A and B are shown apart, each in its own frame.
Chain A
């Protein structure tokens, strides 16, 4: 009746991914809240600022990026919190698979739940700001590269503030400086493209940030 050892850690990673996605499906309200926040914030800006197309086009990428950044921060608190409280984190630490691999799997699940919906929604929400098809595509691309960086960096903050009372505020303070480069290059890319300068440099820097974060973040 006793369990056998699995041949490789990939299957343990798949287990983490499967468990977190299944839990998310049963607790829709938690992650939908952050997505809803993103939609509401972005939708309110054009109403408050007025129908001037040039202004809207100018602020559009920035608004979408800031909203995405805040939404991703909202969902961070749950990254390790539930596992910490119910004891699953201790069991993860005792897993035969390396802990950093399991953390990568947890981050993957977290991004699929809280990052990918933002990427998919961004072109639709961008329409309200009168962005052209190219700008919309680029915006989604920068978010596609940028939101995993936010998740990876966020994991550092979430891990450091785990179990700290009032950790949410501390976490935001820790993370904001780390988030700034992502925000600057993410919005900069769309901006440069709209001015006809080409976005390749910005996108390259963003990709570099992603690689650096992916390499360093799960090491804890």
Chain B
């Protein structure tokens, strides 16, 4: 039996009196991935936010190891890394400053050298000291992926991590996700593209009322 990183049971989400989804149950174990698919507006982002504890669910619960219904989970950046549509980058800070200060704010320690190393691995070495404001959308996505590279969290929750990337950056990102899963990490992501991850994992069709475990 694999060790569960996160299980969610019977989740429902309502937005503006409308039920986006209900009866969603899912689980992710260490060393596996979960690809959430669904049409636009079916609630993929809302589901990810609920899993991270950023939004309350209308019904159901998310359980982390060690948390119980009586003690609701408060996952933090040492166990969970969330990358949303809004990347959480400050336009006026340089890419490396963004990484270092963001880590510090999140209660993590990251040296400038480590930040530059992560950006280099993402193919952004020459952009490391430029303000994020002047980078293209794809490059900003790359900076966010470089931050992901420095994350110590076991579970990565990624909302469209490959959007806006060119072919080479997509391959780099794919390799990053694959190596995280291979190293025993867990991954929950949404994407409209086929990410082509190997190893144990499953796809989850949101809006079909199905559940996966």
A interface list, Cβ under 8 A from B? 1-6, 9, 11-12, 14-16, 18-19, 22-23, 26-27, 85-88, 90-97, 102
Contact = CB atoms under 8 A, between A and B. Distances in A.
A5 B114 contact: no
B75 A15 contact: no
Interface residues of B, number: 38
Given A15-B105, A86-B86, 18 more contacts: A1-B114, A3-B114, A5-B108, A6-B107, A11-B107, A15-B104, A16-B105, A22-B97, A26-B92, A87-B84, A88-B90, A91-B82, A93-B54, A94-B52, A94-B77, A96-B106, A96-B108, A102-B105
Interface string B93-111: 1000100011111111110
Contacts of A5: 78, 107-109, 152
A3 B88 contact: no
B104 A12 contact: yes
Interface in B143-174: 149-152
A9 B75 CA distance: 16
Interface of B: 52-54, 75-78, 80, 82, 84-93, 97, 101-110, 114, 117-118, 121, 149-152
Given A3-B151, A23-B93, A96-B78, A91 B114 contact: no
A95 to B, nearest CB: 4
B13 to A, nearest CB: 17
B118 A15 contact: no
Given A5-B107, A12-B104, A96-B108, A87 B52 contact: no
A15 to B, nearest CB: 3
B105 A3 contact: no
Given A27-B92, A91-B77, A95-B76, A3 B87 contact: no
Contact of B109 (A6, A27, A93): A6
A97 B92 CA distance: 24
B105 A92 contact: yes
24 contacts: A1-B121, A2-B150, A3-B109, A4-B108, A5-B78, A5-B108, A6-B104, A12-B104, A12-B106, A12-B107, A15-B105, A26-B93, A85-B86, A86-B86, A86-B88, A86-B90, A86-B91, A87-B86, A87-B89, A91-B102, A91-B105, A93-B54, A96-B77, A97-B107
A95 B101 CA distance: 12
A94 B106 contact: yes
A86 B89 contact: yes
A88 B88 contact: yes
Contacts of A86: 86-91
Q: Which one of B86, B93, B107 has the greatest number of beta carbons of chain A within 10 Å?
A: B107
Nearest to B144: A87
A94 B92 contact: no
Given A2-B151, A86-B87, A22 B93 contact: yes
A1 B106 contact: no
Contact of B106 (A26, A27, A87, A91): A91
Q: Which one of A23, A91, A92, A94 has the greatest number of beta carbons of chain B within 10 Å?
A: A94
B107 to A, nearest CB: 3
A26 B93 CA distance: 8
Contacts of A27: 92
A85 B84 CA distance: 12
Contacts of A97: 105-107
A87 B49 CA distance: 12
Given A86-B89, A87-B88, A88-B90, A95 B105 contact: yes
Contacts of A88: 88-90, 102
B37 to A, nearest CB: 23
Contacts of B88: 86-88, 90-91
